Structure 1
Amino acid sequence: MNKKEFAAGLVLAVVIAMLVMVGWLPLANAVGLLGVACLAWFFRKEGLHRWIKIGVFLCLVPLVFWVATYRPEGFSYPLALSLPGNTEGAPCFELFVNLSKAIVGFCLLFFLWPRLRSDEFIASPIYSFLAALLAPALIVAIAIPVLELHWQPKPVAQMAAFAMVNLFVIASAEEAFMRLLLQQSLRNAVAKVSAHRWLQELFPLLVVTVIFVAIHAGLSGAAVWVYAVAGFLYGLSYTLSNNILYPIMIHFWVNQLHFSLLSYPL
């Protein structure tokens, strides 16, 4: 472990301890987060034996998902915003700052940020730029009729609060999980058994798109088509660029346009 990693680990441990003490992070999640950091650090090591790497991967994936989604009964993360319902009573939507998910995303970004390999495909930057520019509008345009969304602009303060959580919790963490841990790992695994470029890039993209749909919408209902298009375009932007910032940016703008201008939640 180099000095940079040691310093990051120490800061992470202090932050986690402070969040537990103030009641913003469950103790179980704190322990899981330390496990995620250790496994992610070990997983990124070059020259790791193939079967050991597979074993670490099979432990890391469910642990990341559990830490990001588990919330003990009676516990609530800090509330970022609340949308009132049509009638008096419970709000129609509440957005909490899932600190476990945010820290998981940071750990994956820090430890698994892709190192470009000499044999990896990188498309012309113009294609990545066009994907980032056009994909959010395309996804939202498909979602409006399919999900029967209607015009419902939000106050600027609510847009700003949502943007902060959207960027640092939702988009960054989910794309780090989908692209760096799943798609990139599958791409590397396929590359070891096949020199076929299309198979190396297309197989991970399709598999992770199915996983993205299953996590967000299940595998039935109209929302499947919207999440399938979204997941595919997020993954395609990563395939074209090998840069995690592109899918994060597209994911952010899709969520932000939906929340800011249209009926929300679904």
Structure 2
Amino acid sequence: MLSTNLLFALVCLSSISLWFFVKPIIPIAISYIFLFASFYEGYISYQSLIFVFLFTFFCLVYEKKTSLFIRNFSFIVLLCFMYILVAEDFPYSTEIPIFTGVRFSPISKPFWLDINVEKSVCAIIFAAILIKKSDKLSDWQKVFKDLLLPLAVILAIIIPTGLITGYIKFDFKLPSGSFYFLSINLFLVCVAEEVFFRGFLQRKIFEFLSKYFKAKVSAPVLANVFVAVLFGYAHLYSGYLFAIFAFIAGLGYGYAYQKSGKIEAAILTHFGFNLIHFIFFTYPAFQSLP
């Protein structure tokens, strides 16, 4: 039997390796080791293996830039795959449990933390094949420069609103298990969501509007707003207020991506907001004990 810690280390390592290897083969290989280890442990099914194989295949087809028909077809297929990944609806599969109904503080709602194998692996494969990563010091300087304003604006809007509505309360903490939460949030959750929503959808919508509607001035705004709406809708399972917060945050993540042209700016803006929420306020939300 493989330990949960080993599976956790494998999937985080595969995500981190995206920024240490120019060629995609290393992060893909590590993510596939994690995939097969999860299958061996019974967390995912044969159907999930086939799903990931096909997702990898269509990423490679799309990246080859062959005929327009094949490229458009593979684009549509990838959109369908991503919808399934965001919905996290995989029959005969189980997420790898990290926390089960834990309260990070006495006034926080219970929280469940799992590793979704298919979503994590597909996000890493997609990022490895199709997303350009920062690899120079000047790139990273631009990333950190361009994330400060959107992060500040997100915090200035969402935190006071969350406090006024009673959705969150001040709650400084660094509970046991923080390492697991922050690692998974950064290397899996933020990477997956920003790669799919900003690195793929927002970029493609911007390119489409710029090319076919000659909306070069409004294209960045329209693409950002449209994807932020989708991002908010994807979080509707946690309630309308949370979805609204996700929409506002999504606008900030999208702006960071547009301003810098770097996916890392969106990832780190996303993680920066989650980090401050986690450490200084009730996470995931306020709920006093009866």
TM class by smaller structure: 0.7 to 0.9
Correspondence 1:55 to 2:102: no
Q: CA deviation at 1:113?
A: 1.2
Correspondence 1:178 to 2:194: no
CA 1:28–1:67: 2 relative to 1, 3 Å? farther
What is the match of residue 251 of structure 2? 232
Q: CA deviation at 1:23?
A: 2.3
CA 1:208–1:129: 2 relative to 1, 3 Å? closer
For the residues of structure 2 that align with 1:251 and 1:147, how far apart are their CA atoms?
22
Q: How does 1:61-210 map to 2 (within 5 A)?
A: 61-67=79-85, 69-72=88-91, 75-80=94-99, 82-84=101-103, 92-114=110-132, 128-131=146-149, 133-138=151-156, 139-146=158-165, 148-210=167-229
For the residues of structure 2 that align with 1:247 and 1:134, how far apart are their CA atoms?
13
For the residues of structure 2 that align with 1:228 and 1:147, how far apart are their CA atoms?
19
Correspondence 1:250 to 2:280: no
Question: The residue matched to 1:198 in structure 2 has which SS?
Answer: coil
Q: After superposing the two structures, state which structure 1 stretch, 203-212 or 58-67, moved more.
A: 58-67
Aligned positions, number: 253
Cα shift readout 1:155-201 (whole Å, capped 9, x = no counterpart): 44232221011011211100000012211111222232244421332
CA 1:18–1:199: 2 relative to 1, 3 Å? same
Equivalent AA in structure 1 for residue 77 of structure 2: C
Contact 1:209 1:231 survives alignment (8 Å) = yes
Equivalent AA in structure 2 for residue 149 of structure 1: I
Q: Which runs of 5+ in 2 are unaligned?
A: 1-21, 135-141, 286-290
Question: The residue matched to 1:79 in structure 2 has which SS?
Answer: strand
Contact 2:147 2:266 survives alignment (8 Å) = no
For the residues of structure 2 that align with 1:38 and 1:233, how far apart are their CA atoms?
32
* Overall identity of the aligned pairs, in %: 19
Cα shift readout 1:218-261 (whole Å, capped 9, x = no counterpart): 79833343222101111111111110001101111222222233
Question: The residue matched to 1:251 in structure 2 has which SS?
Answer: helix
Question: The residue matched to 2:44 in structure 1 has which SS?
Answer: coil
Equivalent AA in structure 2 for residue 204 of structure 1: A
Question: The residue matched to 2:96 in structure 1 has which SS?
Answer: coil
Q: CA deviation at 1:112?
A: 1.7
Equivalent AA in structure 2 for residue 55 of structure 1: F
Correspondence 1:19 to 2:38: yes
What is the match of residue 119 of structure 1? none
TM-score, with normalisation over the residues of structure 1?
Answer: 0.80
Q: CA deviation at 1:10?
A: 4.9
Contact 2:95 2:115 survives alignment (8 Å) = no
CA 1:212–1:166: 2 relative to 1, 3 Å? same
Q: Find runs of 4+ consecutive structure 1 residues off by over 6 angstroms.
A: 124-127
Q: After superposing the two structures, state which structure 1 stretch, 134-143 or 29-38, moved more.
A: 134-143
Q: After superposing the two structures, state which structure 1 stretch, 162-171 or 97-106, moved more.
A: 97-106
Q: Which runs of 5+ in 1 are unaligned?
A: 117-123
Give the root-mean-square deviation of aligned CA atoms: 3.2
Cα shift readout 1:110-163 (whole Å, capped 9, x = no counterpart): 1121489xxxxxxx8786143355245334344332453112334442322210
CA 1:202–1:183: 2 relative to 1, 3 Å? same
Contact 2:32 2:121 survives alignment (8 Å) = no
Contact 1:80 1:161 survives alignment (8 Å) = no
Contact 2:154 2:248 survives alignment (8 Å) = no
Equivalent AA in structure 2 for residue 130 of structure 1: L
TM-score, with normalisation over the residues of structure 2?
Answer: 0.74
